[in-house]
Amino acid sequence: EVISLGLAIFYSFLFKSSHDQNDLCVTCLNANRYRTELQNMMGMFVSTLPYRIQLNTHWSFNELVKHVREKCLSILEHSHYPLQNILTDLHLNQSTVPFLQISFDLMTIFSSINQFSFDDVSLKPVLLEKLFEAAKFDFLLRFVYNSTSDDNILSCHLICSRDLFEDTTIAKIGQRFQYFFEQLFSMDFDVNQTDLIISPVTKLSLILPDEVNELHQIVLCRQPNITYEGISFLYLLHMLYERKMYEYRFVKHDIKTVLKRI
């Protein structure tokens, strides 16, 4: 169920990144070996599938994972239906559909064996070093899960197109994603994870701790004589965060704008 968990994390991260845009669609790669005779057949059968979800803002993270799991199962039942046919049915052109450029990928390592032999021929993987590799998608989140590892580490890779994102922007998105991840799973985080995963996903935050301190200082410096009785400080932070994000341009071509075009 790693893919359901990974997609739920990605959906909730996009939801918060796009200022609570709840109609979300990303693409995923599928092995597309839906018939028994295809399971051990050599060849490339991979297909691209759109995963759309209309996120209820009252869902907790646990509820989101449950809905994503159900969505994944329903999509896999029809995974043999080509993407081209889906787009044709919807009268869409593949080159102009923005959600195809936002992708989630899960790589699962099932075996630690790194060498294979066929008769007198031995094969082993070779790491190819590339000075430059073009991103296949505008925005890709990849999880790598090694099922043979004793430490059960799930690594994450954020891959973005430099045509759309500055290096500093990618670094900032990475920091926000790490902080977002820590809210849900880190035992060292200063908030009870149990409360967060059963609270609405709207309670999750992308505001980094240093930004909270900075915004706190801004509020206190600008209005030193005001007490905040009856006023939610988090609400003030949210308003200042919205302004800061507008000035900073969290994404050069704003994820919210991309999602709105879906």
pLDDT of residue 254: 43
Spatial contact of 84 and 97, defined as CB atoms under 8 Å apart: no
Looking at domain 2-113+133-206+254-260, its CATH class is alpha beta
Instruction: Check residue 103 and give its pLDDT.
Output: 93
How many Å apart are CA 94 and CA 136, to the nearest integer? 14
Helix (H, G, I), strand (E, B) or coil at 110: coil
Query: Tell me, what amino acid is at 193?
Result: Q
10-residue mean pLDDT series, the chain (262 residues)? 90 91 89 70 76 93 94 86 85 78 86 69 68 74 82 84 89 92 76 69 88 72 53 55 49 42 40
**CA contacts within 13 A on the Cβ side of 105:** 20
Q: Which pLDDT does position 51 carry in this prediction?
A: 92
- Distance between CA atoms of residues 170 and 237, nearest Å: 23
Contacts 24+ apart (CB under 8 A), 219-222: none
Which pLDDT score, from 0 to 100, does residue 65 have?
94
Sketch the domain layout of the chain as residue ranges: 2-113+133-206+254-260
Determine what percent of the chain falls in helix, strand and coil, rounding each to the nearest 5: 45, 20, 40
Residues contacting residue 121 through CB under 8 Å, at least 6 positions apart: none
Determine the pLDDT at residue 246.
Answer: 47
pTM over 0.85: no
